Amino acid sequence: MMKVECTRLPSGLTVVSERMPHLESVALGVWIKSGSRNETVDEHGIAHLLEHMAFKGTRRRSARQIAEEIENVGGEVNAATSTETTSYYARVLKDHVPLAVDILADILTESTFDEEELRREKHVILQEIGAADDTPDDVVFDRFAETAYRDQTVGRPILGTPETVMSFTPGQIRQYLGRNYTTDRMFIVAAGAVDHDTIVRQVEERFSTLPVTPLSTPVLDTARYTGGDSRESRDLMDAQVLLGFEGRAYHARDFYCSQILANILGGGMSSRLFQEVREHRGLCYSVYAFHWGFSDTGIFGIHAATGGENLPELMPVIIEELRKSSASIDQQEIERARAQIRAQLLMGQESPAARAGQIARQMMLYGRPIPNEELMERLSGITIERLTDLAGRLFFDTTPTLSAIGPLEQLAPVSDILSSLNIKPAAVQALAG
């Protein structure tokens, strides 16, 4: 029987584990409630750079030693930066958990941020930025976020810009680290063949030097959805198009309702958009809907990839499907969406890495692990009336966000899209401005 155990250490650091007795491995990591959104104006990209630099040498280990020690036992270690979180994680066999804890503690408390390593890593990130700029479906999402949250950190690309990345010094990295990597914002989570009391002792010993209070006040500006229109014509085979609307934050009443609505509209091969746009009309090779939640905002979007010649027909069809969703939704569609979400939850429990990540997100967002039964109970309260009402408010009451890249000569002017959505005059003026 799997059971989630949680211990808050005197330092304020939280340790959470779930024993999965049928496994021989453990996935464990450190999740920090801080990401690109917690950067100042002059720090654009520093959260991601810090994640890279953590593996570039400590007082006890060189970059090569970090890689060799974990791989000598068949393990792996990695990290990731998102808008609101950063994570450092490892996967090892159960006998090597002490080594994984030691390495994660080492890179988070003893990194040296060597000047020469920093110089090299800056150039690695410049290549990463260049590769993203050469990938249209990456560019269109970056432009989408920038347009939806104009001139705000929540909308900025995580990688930063070549200019900001090249400007960073070891001192700036330490300043960001000291402001954000404190025990009250950090969660150590393990899932798999793990003993809770043992890992608590290991964490308490190895992470004892983490700062309890920040060096300065952490940065987090309140998000303000703006919407807007962003188009970039490129000589490409296909057009990448994103149409979005203001969504709901994690704690909002309509958050789970928004997740269900995204699933019904474009969550799989049986979804409305896939069936109508791709299967019935053959207007694109990829179409789906999504809903991103943040701590104080959210965004609902539809992504389509198609040939430029299909754009005149594609956009009206998508908008018509949005209109239909505000008028009628079948109970069978709700049940199918619930079943898909339930399957994702249960399948995630078969992977220690997925399970550790899920628990970490719940701790950062809600302060406690959320049982699957509770999640499903929240979903069970979603009705046809709530979904159609939400669709009407999402799609027809706020300024839309349009982001597109590729052969866009036949993409309708934004005024036509606004007109077809019957957007209220105030929203039209906001978009024009």
pLDDT at residue 414 tops 90: no
76-81/86-93 β-pairing:
antiparallel
pLDDT of amino acid 220: 78
pLDDT at residue 426 tops 60: no
pLDDT of amino acid 424: 53
Domain 228-432 fold: Cytochrome Bc1 Complex; Chain A, domain 1 (3.30.830)
Upper half-sphere CA count for residue 405 (Cβ side, 13 Å): 12
Write the DSSP symbol of residue 73.
Answer: T
Q: Does domain 4-206 have CATH number 3.30.830.10?
A: yes
pLDDT band at 384 (very low <50, low <70, confident <90, very high): very high
Weakest-pLDDT range from 3-12, 135-144, 190-199, 218-227: 218-227
H or E segment at 78?
A: strand 76-81
Give the span between the Cα atoms of 127 and 157, in whole angstroms: 15
pLDDT at residue 221 tops 90: no
pLDDT of amino acid 1: 53
Note the pTM of the prediction, 2 decimals: 0.91
Give the span between the Cα atoms of 53 and 117, in whole angstroms: 8
pLDDT at residue 428 tops 50: no
Mean pLDDT for the stretch of residues 156-170: 96
pLDDT at residue 256 tops 90: yes
- pLDDT tens digit sequence for 269-304: 999 999 999 999 999 999 999 999 999 999 999 999
Cβ neighbours of 197 (radius 10 Å): 10
Give the span between the Cα atoms of 143 and 420, in whole angstroms: 23
Mean pLDDT for the stretch of residues 355-377: 92
One-letter-per-residue 3-state SS of 162-217: HHHHHHCCHHHHHHHHHHHCCHHHEEEEEEECCCHHHHHHHHHHHCCCCCCCCCCC
Write the DSSP symbol of residue 223.
Answer: P
pLDDT at residue 164 tops 90: yes
pLDDT band at 367 (very low <50, low <70, confident <90, very high): very high
> In CATH terms, are 4-206 and 228-432 the same topology?
yes
pLDDT band at 43 (very low <50, low <70, confident <90, very high): very high
pLDDT of amino acid 201: 97
- Give me the residue label for tokens 């505000």: 326
pLDDT band at 433 (very low <50, low <70, confident <90, very high): very low
Give the span between the Cα atoms of 119 and 168, in whole angstroms: 10
Q: What percent of the chain has a predicted confidence (pLDDT) above 70?
A: 97
pLDDT at residue 178 tops 50: yes
pLDDT at residue 432 tops 60: no
Mean pLDDT for the stretch of residues 369-379: 88
pLDDT band at 420 (very low <50, low <70, confident <90, very high): confident
Which of 51, 69, 121, 246 is the catalytic position?
Answer: 51
Catalytic, 51? Answer yes
Domain range annotation of the chain: 4-206, 228-432
pLDDT band at 2 (very low <50, low <70, confident <90, very high): low
